[in-house]
Structure 1
Amino acid sequence: MKDTGKLKKKSGILKKSIAIVVLFNMMYMTALPVVSVLDSHVITSAAASTTEIVGTAGIKTPELALSSAILIEASTGQVLLSMNPDEALPPASMTKMMTEYIVAEEVKQGRLKWDDVVTVGKNAAESVGSRIFLAEGDKHTVRDLYIAMAVGSANDATVALAERVAGSEQNFVEMMNETAQRMGMKDSYFINATGLDKADMPKAYQPDTDRETVMTARDVATLAGYIVRDHPDYTEFTTLQNYKFRPTDKDPIVNWNWMLEANKNITNFKAYAYEGLNGMKTGHTNAAGYCFAGTAVRDGMTLISVAMGADTEPARFKETRKILDYGFENFKLQQVVAPKAELAELKTVPVTKGKETEVPVVTKDAVSFVVPKNGAEPQITHTAKVTSASELLAPLKQGDKVGTVTYTYKAKGMDQPQEKTVDLITTTNVEEAGWFRMFFRAIGGFFADLFGSIKNLF
């Protein structure tokens, strides 16, 4: 995202010319992408030396020239590294990740289709900064607008999608804030769908508030985690290196994410390309500096990194590399419990009114935790909760849930224990016993109790 609110006319023309020359050399050695570039202001506030970087005990953390940063493992949510992770800061276009999530969720729930046609309104058409120059009344599919938002960070496409989903951008903002609260993003607040400063929004559509959009690095990572888990097809969009928005466009939209693994073959990007990197969102305004939320997968482990407040565009990617290297070089995702595992102390559970009085049980799913590489074998504890026999009535089918097991692992130096709860399930069917069997079982139980009572008299 490029903020143009404070640029003077002459300065803007000069800087635009400079940006065109730079991007001409960088973007595939071709002409400019369709997205406009209107800002080159650099903040100078980022400083690693004054902020503590918290990692795992015994593992050296990198020095980071950022305002805020965090690294988490996606499947467990385990924090591996953090630097000022809970300060609410301007997130710039990383805001669009929430718009992306909500639109994808609308499609997933069937309330929206990728091939639905969206009519562009005045608010979208007047949006500034990064854009694809939509005109009021233009018609484009949800998919095309989504790609323009995810790949080219187009503000006009983002607003058009927000208005299609909720009727107005401010109605959509209510959805954004409600979704943030549901996700546990307690320190985030949105005033628009794009991440633009209020002053840079079309005047007629500015919200009646003196607040600005803010997010913490932890909240950005939380949001990215929801995207990874709930919409794993996000990479269909975020890995696009370029996209031709209109058949008549001379040049395609080019992805702002220099770190895409596929860029290893692009002359001007190969220094930034990162193995396994497949997303997710860049951002930049004067207030935010240069930001980047990255996702990368290696050896079955997905890491989510957030870098906020870098001084330059290249710096946000260089600092992200340090963060991700720290994660992949020092940690691994290790399966500590296999699927269909028996518990030594709980191989069966009692059943009422069944042909059998008990049924074998196993865990339903595997359990994996993030563990330090070259460390001691992780010591795992577990607690089981089983449905009472009086409530566990036959008939039962193989695979029926009869309880849960919670596994816990705490690595030295990690800020919190990792926990995962899996279901306990039956391994066989248990048919309901007939009245004859139940009758003699009751008689047997009666005499067993009787003889037990007599025995206790002597």
Structure 2
Amino acid sequence: MRVSILTRLATLALFLVLAVPPAAEAARIETNAREAILLDYDTGQVLYQKNADDPMPPASMTKIMTVFLAFERLADGRLKMDDEIPISEKAWRKGGSKMFVEIGSRVSVHDILHGIIVQSGNDAAIALAEAIAGTEEAFAELMTEEAAAIGIENATFRNATGWPDPEHRMTARGLAILAAETIRRFPEHYKIYAEETFTYNEIKQGNRNPLLYKGMGADGLKTGHTENAGYGLTASAKRGDRRLVMVVNGLDSVSQRASESERLIEWGFREFDNYKLLERGEAIDQAAVWLGDQPTVPLVTEDELFLTLPRAARKEMRVTVEYEGPIPAPIVKGQVLARMRIAAPDMEDRVVPLLAGEDVGKLGPLGRITSAVGHLIWGPSTGD
């Protein structure tokens, strides 16, 4: 294993410190939430987590997945906003939060989605589930399958509403992934989550998301509450080019949910920032090549590299490149050859795959003999 300290990136980290007034030591934070996670939307960096992988009752935050399946069908044409959905007796009778649809009526997808997102209507969620899958039970199976498909672990859905069920479980991390995927894949439809009120059947109801009314850049997503789950919120807020995604659950009251959510998001914006470290395709190191028509191959990143760091920890960032070398030729451009590890205090290590920046051919027979003899006499080239 060859480990190369990247002087260039270490210098860049130092430059970031010198270019900005020194920050105080990053303030640590705790929360009364039973489960919580806060992450940066663009980099995926987790800024804070507490029991984030424990399966929990998501309550009405479940409806983010219910809506996600509808957004998918709107995107591929299987649903249209002006399609009408029949209201069954089961949907009409369901207790809890309601949109107040009438049994036997037909309601547009547009209104149903607003009834779920803004009003948290259990009746609307069941009506949508039945329209898509025939029964709520069949729809719940689709929800579980979709969660696995987008990389959410330990999610099992038994209904479309979040109604208490001992087998209906999701993690805070899973909800954060789902929220981020909703924002990424359905930006036009996601805007519904920011609407503060919706009126249906002459009944006006306000969005239960407390952060929408605080002028802090919040634009989604969904609250939840049952006796077993406690008070929860999956939220997102954007300021300038940065967006944070947060999930809290297991809080004691509406007021605590509002205050803890606001405090976590404010902390995330205040204590962290995003830094661009590399351009797409930029060579950051040279890896030694074995029996190639050139002695080294440039190592590059596939995409631009942004990193979320505590402002106070920038100067302590450490970057290394790791690979098994020398790397035998032939090498194909784009081939994964190495990985870059970025470490900073109080942060999980970020590992980025590094690719071959160009093709490297294999030496001919005479060249291989000459190179092998040189290797025996002088040892391998380091590529430094």
Structure 1 length-normalised TM: 0.65
**What residue in structure 2 maps to residue 259 of structure 1?**
211
Q: Is residue 300–residue 333 contact of structure 1 (8 Å, CA) maintained in 2?
A: no
CA distance in 2, matches of 1:371, 1:335: 11
Structure 2 letter corresponding to 1:298: R
SS at match of 2:65: helix
Q: 1:193 to 1:371 in 2, by over 3 A?
A: same
Superposed displacement of residue 362, structure 1: 5.8
Q: Is residue 73–residue 302 contact of structure 1 (8 Å, CA) maintained in 2?
A: yes
Q: Give the counterpart of 1:311 among 223, 240, 252.
A: 252
Q: 1:344 to 1:131 in 2, by over 3 A?
A: same
Q: Give the counterpart of 2:352 among 402, 420, 426.
A: 420
**What residue in structure 2 maps to residue 29 of structure 1?**
none
CA distance in 1, matches of 2:48, 2:365: 62
- 1:88-125 Cα distance to aligned partner (Å, 9 max, x none): 33221011111122222233333333333222222222
2:202 maps to 1:250: yes
Structure 2 letter corresponding to 1:250: E
CA distance in 1, matches of 2:209, 2:142: 27
* 220-229 or 326-335: bigger deviation: 220-229
**What residue in structure 2 maps to residue 105 of structure 1?**
72
Q: 1:130 to 1:447 in 2, by over 3 A?
A: closer
- 1:394-449 Cα distance to aligned partner (Å, 9 max, x none): xxxxxx855576432122222x311334766679xxxxxxxxxxxxxx9xx78989
Q: Which has the higher contact order (CA 8 A, sep 6+)?
A: 2
SS at match of 1:133: coil
Q: 1:363 to 1:376 in 2, by over 3 A?
A: closer
Structure 2 letter corresponding to 1:146: L
Map 1:150-189 → 2, pairs under 5 A: 150-189=117-156
CA distance in 1, matches of 2:158, 2:370: 76
Q: Is residue 61–residue 326 contact of structure 1 (8 Å, CA) maintained in 2?
A: no
Segments of structure 1 that go 5 or more residues without pairing to the other structure are: 1-57, 199-210, 264-272, 353-357, 393-399, 428-441, 454-458
Q: Give the counterpart of 1:235 among 170, 190, 196.
A: 190
Q: 1:383 to 1:111 in 2, by over 3 A?
A: farther
Superposed displacement of residue 318, structure 1: 0.4
Q: 1:448 to 1:286 in 2, by over 3 A?
A: closer
- 1:358-379 Cα distance to aligned partner (Å, 9 max, x none): 9999644211111110323433
Q: Is residue 363–residue 405 contact of structure 1 (8 Å, CA) maintained in 2?
A: no
* 169-178 or 402-411: bigger deviation: 402-411
CA distance in 1, matches of 2:157, 2:367: 69
CA distance in 1, matches of 2:70, 2:82: 13
Structure 2 length-normalised TM: 0.76
Q: List structure 1 segments (4+ residues) > 6 angstroms apart after TM superposition.
A: 358-361, 445-453
- 1:247-305 Cα distance to aligned partner (Å, 9 max, x none): xx434332111211xx3xxxxxxxxx142211111112222222111111234222111
Q: 1:76 to 1:174 in 2, by over 3 A?
A: same
Q: Is residue 331–residue 372 contact of structure 1 (8 Å, CA) maintained in 2?
A: yes
**What residue in structure 2 maps to residue 277 of structure 1?**
218
Q: Is residue 298–residue 356 contact of structure 2 (8 Å, CA) maintained in 1?
A: no
CA distance in 2, matches of 1:336, 1:111: 42
Q: Give the counterpart of 2:308 among 370, 373, 383.
A: 370
Q: Is residue 132–residue 154 contact of structure 1 (8 Å, CA) maintained in 2?
A: yes
CA distance in 1, matches of 2:251, 2:192: 25
Superposed displacement of residue 156, structure 1: 1.1
**What residue in structure 2 maps to residue 78 of structure 1?**
45
Q: Give the counterpart of 1:409 among 335, 342, 345.
A: 342
Q: Is residue 74–residue 228 contact of structure 1 (8 Å, CA) maintained in 2?
A: no
Structure 2 letter corresponding to 1:98: M
2:331 maps to 1:379: no
Q: 1:425 to 1:67 in 2, by over 3 A?
A: same
Q: Is residue 351–residue 359 contact of structure 1 (8 Å, CA) maintained in 2?
A: no
2:153 maps to 1:221: no
SS at match of 1:186: coil
State the superposition RMSD in angstroms: 3.8
**What residue in structure 2 maps to residue 339 of structure 1?**
280
Q: Is residue 45–residue 308 contact of structure 2 (8 Å, CA) maintained in 1?
A: yes
Structure 2 letter corresponding to 1:64: T
Q: Is residue 279–residue 303 contact of structure 2 (8 Å, CA) maintained in 1?
A: yes
CA distance in 2, matches of 1:233, 1:120: 26
2:27 maps to 1:96: no
Q: Is residue 382–residue 406 contact of structure 1 (8 Å, CA) maintained in 2?
A: yes
Q: Is residue 96–residue 149 contact of structure 1 (8 Å, CA) maintained in 2?
A: yes
* 365-374 or 133-142: bigger deviation: 133-142
- 1:217-241 Cα distance to aligned partner (Å, 9 max, x none): 2332232233233333453111112
CA distance in 2, matches of 1:238, 1:184: 23
2:90 maps to 1:123: yes
CA distance in 1, matches of 2:111, 2:176: 26
Structure 2 letter corresponding to 1:243: F
SS at match of 2:126: helix
Superposed displacement of residue 383, structure 1: 5.3
CA distance in 1, matches of 2:368, 2:57: 72
2:271 maps to 1:326: no
Q: Give the counterpart of 1:288 among 229, 250, 255.
A: 229
